[in-house]
Chain A
Amino acid sequence: MANTGWDEFEIGAMLRSFDGVAATEIATTHQEDRNYSQNNSFSASVADWRIEKPIFAKDYCIDCQFCWIYCPDMSIISRDKKMIGVDMDHCKGCGICVEVCPTNPKSLLMFPEHAVEEDELASWPEKESKEK
């Protein structure tokens, strides 16, 4: 939202989360069906915060949803109990998803921001053998 003049906004520095009427039950309406206002931070991006990014190797994922619940930035997209991807507009690259992923090899790994997804998926690490 561009910096407007003193006469161009609603009083009290009040902000609206949605344009018009919010869905009857926001709590059961997923992001893609919401009418976010331009003042909702959903409409913004923090992609430029990242120096590392997670890449998702779907084949190894067991849909445990640890990444979904422990992501501080609502950037693990889960629909119908399946992990479907990472929201790269809102991911800050903290790396928690990788740490909590229980699969072997992990289904999420951190790579430098400029890494090419196909290349990394093609050379995904092997299953680690646990030496006792």
Chain B
Amino acid sequence: MSCNRDIWVFGDYRNYFQNRVTLQILARAVDLASKTGGKVCAVVLGHHTDEFVAEYIAHGAQIVYAMDDPRLKSYSIETFSWLMAWLAKKYQPEILLVGATRFGQDMAPRVAKKLNTGLTADCINLEIDENGLLVQIAPSFGGNLIAKIITPVHRPQMATVRPGTFQELPHDNHAPGEVIRPVLPDDLPKDRNRLISSEYRPSKKQKIEDADIVICGGRGMGSKGKFKKLFDLAALMNAEVGATRPVVYSEWASHDALVGQAGKNIKPKILLSFGVSGAIQHTAALIDAKFIVAVNKNPNAAMMKMADVAIVADANQACLGIIKAIREKIRN
């Protein structure tokens, strides 16, 4: 059966104000649809979800498939996977995109299996190639390698997209959109997972991963006491402090601050790196930093090579110098 050329985006509306990934993907879908010629559609499964339906239309969805039923009031991995597969079989979209929240990362592979199609996880970009195929660009190996992947034959072409990859479109109250309300099928199977409790508990860990300015410190800071100065600088700059593994192991900073493999990935506008040599386990987490200033006594440290500005100086001294400079400038 031939599909239409529509691009579907799963509506992950839980925790809406922090979780913007659906809007971000919709924006990209609009771009991609202009090349494939299909419609941009959102899928919303839940109960009392009209506000999200309206939001998605305002952010680029031309059609919203909305299934509203009390049985769908909490996110359920089995039910949602089954319904997404059912909807996809019924309406045959060309492309199906899901935000790579934990829920999305769990749901998308199940849907792909049910539909017997391929899935690329955690994409950092999506393109349409000259044959109209979706090119799925995803990192692997801790970000040390980027792969370009296509799904030549199987349909729909599926991908999960890393939150923060794309920029959402501005809210447009006047955007037109159609809402289609398929009826919940009778043979919807019972959920084998039972949700006993769900408590909204935003983790503090979001902060460094989303911070605009991150200050990373390495062993070159010298000591725990000197490392503490980075927190002073962070306070001045409204930044978060990150650390390398040796620093965390020496207990100059807590494990929450670990940036790198087994720690956090960061994507700040500015990264200030003090006394970090640049081991690959750390630098792999920095590829999304837009502007990097590195300070190190050793001009040839790997961290210095990947910086926009490499300052050859003692990390501790430089930190104190920058604190002083910023204080003066703010005062003036």
The judgment on whether A and B are partners is no
Q: Which residues of B contact A (CB under 8 A)?
A: none
